[in-house]
Amino acid sequence: MTSNLTMASSPEPHFEEEKNQSYVKAYRSEFDVPDDKLVEAIEYLGRLPGGIVANRDHRKLNQAVEHIDNLRSRPIAVPGTPGVLKEYSYDELYIILVERNHYPMKDFEKLMKKFEDRFGYLPSPPEFVEFYEEKKDELEKEVKETNEALLESQVMLQGNQIALEQIQQALEQERRERQALKQEMQQALEQERQRGQSLEQELQRMREREEDQLEEEVRYMIKRVVCKVCFEKEVEVLFLPCYHLVSCQGCKEQLAQKKCPLCRAAYQGTIRVYFA
């Protein structure tokens, strides 16, 4: 068995063995295809990853027949090798399908991967168009689900933004309240400090007044206990009957007349007084 397609070499399947496989019988029950085209398609499947064992599927067989027909109809063949067909490259398909026919890039990327994952090779442009129509509803559903998820994310994001703004407002309010409380505390502390200073000043004034009063009392007491004659010694003589305590003993003995030095009244007697 020979094929006009150039692909990676792998053990070729035997048509006589493969035609009795269930996938070939299932395909033949639906399609009337000449043996040479069937042989070529089976050979093509045998050269795909996994070989014929991994690709025994009547849908893959049908797709391989259509794929080979599409490659035969492409205008470009391998130079210098008449009849040898060339697979479409990814870049060629991009130019034909996206740049020229304006298929969405996202759809192109998704379908190219899905097609290659299912069949093991890149599609021809007609196969892509057919596959696109097959997957159109699925793509629209994916777009719808994506848009719904995006909308839901936007709603959640808006909700999160609102919640974040509320949190920020609450934090700002708390910051203002803390600042106001701090200012109140600072004012209260300043008032207490000023009150403390006022109290300290008042206490100082009270101490000064007490000291002045004490000094005055001391001066007064000193004045009262000092002899009113010599102004040096303590008074110690009480004159009777006027009861004036104004003279020390020495000055009393030096009085020229028996009269009280304070009231000038004649005294009848004296009493010696001693301070403890």
pLDDT tens for residues 122-155? Answer: 999 999 999 999 999 998 898 899 889 988 889 9
Report the Cα 215 to chain-centroid distance in Å.
73
Whether 223 is covered by a domain: the verdict is no
Whether 27 is covered by a domain: the verdict is yes
Q: Which of 135, 163, 188 is the last residue of a domain?
A: 135
CATH code of the domain covering residue 263: 3.30.40.10
- pLDDT above 90 covers a percentage of the chain that reads 54
Q: Is residue 9 predicted with pLDDT exceeding 70?
A: no
Whether 198 is covered by a domain: the verdict is no
Q: Which of 80, 103, 135 is the last residue of a domain?
A: 135
Q: pLDDT tier at 4 (50, 70, 90 boundaries)?
A: very low
Please state the pTM of the whole predicted model.
0.52
Which residue segment(s) compose the domain that 255 sits in?
Answer: 237-272
Q: Is residue 243 left, alpha or beta, with left meaning phi > 0 and alpha meaning psi from -120 to 50?
A: left
Between 120 and 3, the higher pLDDT residue: 120
Whether 199 is covered by a domain: the verdict is no
Average per-residue pLDDT in the chain? 87
Q: Which of 135, 165, 196 is the last residue of a domain?
A: 135
Mean pLDDT, rounded, for 154-177? 91
- State residue 6's pLDDT score: 45
Whether 205 is covered by a domain: the verdict is no
Q: Encode pLDDT of 233-261 as tens digits.
A: 889 999 999 999 999 999 999 988 889 99
- State residue 219's pLDDT score: 80
Q: Encode pLDDT of 84-94 as tens digits.
A: 678 999 999 99
Residue-by-residue DSSP string for 188-246: HHHHHHHHHHHHHHHHHHHHHHHHHHHHHHHHHHHHHHB-TTTSSSBP-EEEETT--EE
Number of domains in the chain: 2
Instruction: Give the tokens for residue 105.
Output: 């890039």
Whether 54 is covered by a domain: the verdict is yes
Whether 260 is covered by a domain: the verdict is yes
Whether 169 is covered by a domain: the verdict is no
